[in-house]
Structure formats: C-alpha cells, structure tokens
Amino acid sequence: MKLSIEDLVQTRIPTQHGEFTLHYYSNNLDEKEHIALVKGAVADQDNVPVRIHSECFTGDVLGSRRCDCGEQLDMALDIINRHGCGILVYLRQEGRGIGLLKKLQAYNLQDQGLDTIDANLSLGHLADERQYDVAGLILQSLKVSSIALITNNPQKIDELTRLGIDVKNRIAIETSINADNLDYLKTKAERMHHLLSVNDEQD
C-alpha cells in the first residue's frame, strides 16, 4: 500500500514561542496523530527552517534530563519564531520508534550500565527504528521549495533527501549537558555519528 496523508484540520496555536498554525494529519498506514506546527508563509520558499521532532513524552512533557529532546523542541520553536517562518513536524514515534513501554524498559537497562543502543538491541529492537516517510509527505504537502534542517543527525538529512526533499542547509541544535544526559549524548556522537561537541563537562 502506498503511503498517503490527509491534512484534516488547521487551527491557530499561540505559544510562548509565537503564534503557529497546527496541521493535523491522518495517514493510511497507522493510527498515529502526526502534526506540523507552521509559522508564516512557507509554500514555494527556499531554506525554510524545519525541525523533524520525534515524540518524547519524558523529555517533551516531563522535562526529563535523561535526554535532550525537550530542550531541542523549545530551541527549534524559538529558531523558527525568530526566523519568522518555518515548520516543526512532530512525529508520533516515541523512543526512537520502539514505543513508550520499551523505552522505559530500556531506561532501566541503561541504569544497569548499557548505553542507549545496546539497551534497545537487548530488547529485540534496532538501535533506531524511526521512519521519515510521513515527514517527507507533510513537507511536500506544505509545498516548501527547500529547507534548512534543524538537526544534529546526518541520517535525517539522508532520509529526507532520499524522499525528495531539497535539504539546502543544516542548523545545529546543541543543548546543555548534565550528569544525566552525558552518556546519552556521547553515544549519539560516538556510535550514531551525530554532529555534537560532547566532553565530560556537566552543568
């Protein structure tokens, strides 16, 4: 079955990072509620700042210091607001695609000494099971000409390029380092090749 999406609802969302239009998408492959927060006129624009953000309940909602997700979400919305236009695509693929239950189980394994990759593997999952096909279709539906991707992850650039998205530039999004996320960030940099500057300094 060929993946398709439908933009069902658009509504105004005022936030601490400015006003956005929230687009609610359905798709024909899963029942997940993928959304996009859009600021300004993005159709036919070049170098539109775009963040593809995967759901992280613990970081985005609870402010967990085990990861950098919540801080990246806030930073991305601030970048888009300051630019005057942009898109944040929020994909419902918790825990790098393994779901909240398995993610929490992986946390316990990490507390026993495994890194994020080995914890996922020990639970029978891949290191990263996220997919970006829905994000590609969302960007196409919004008719952007090219984007500046807000990311440290080269795989996201490769995946969106494969899906036909013109990624002109990358905007770095490095967050603070603390005792709880240091090993997480090191694993990202050393084993997942994220473009991060990580040392042993902690806040």
CB atoms within 10 A of CB 147: 27
User: Active-site residue among 12, 30, 130, 162?
Assistant: 130
Q: Are 95 and 64 in contact, with CB atoms under 8 Å apart?
A: no
162 is a catalytic site residue: no
Please say whether the beta carbons of 39 and 88 come within 8 A: no
CA distance 15 to 21: 10
The answer to whether residue 111 is catalytic is no
Alpha carbon distance 153, 38 (integer Å): 22
Helix, strand counts (H, E) of the chain = 6, 7
Active-site residue, selected from the candidate residues 60, 68, 115, 128? 128
**What positions carry a catalytic annotation?**
128, 130
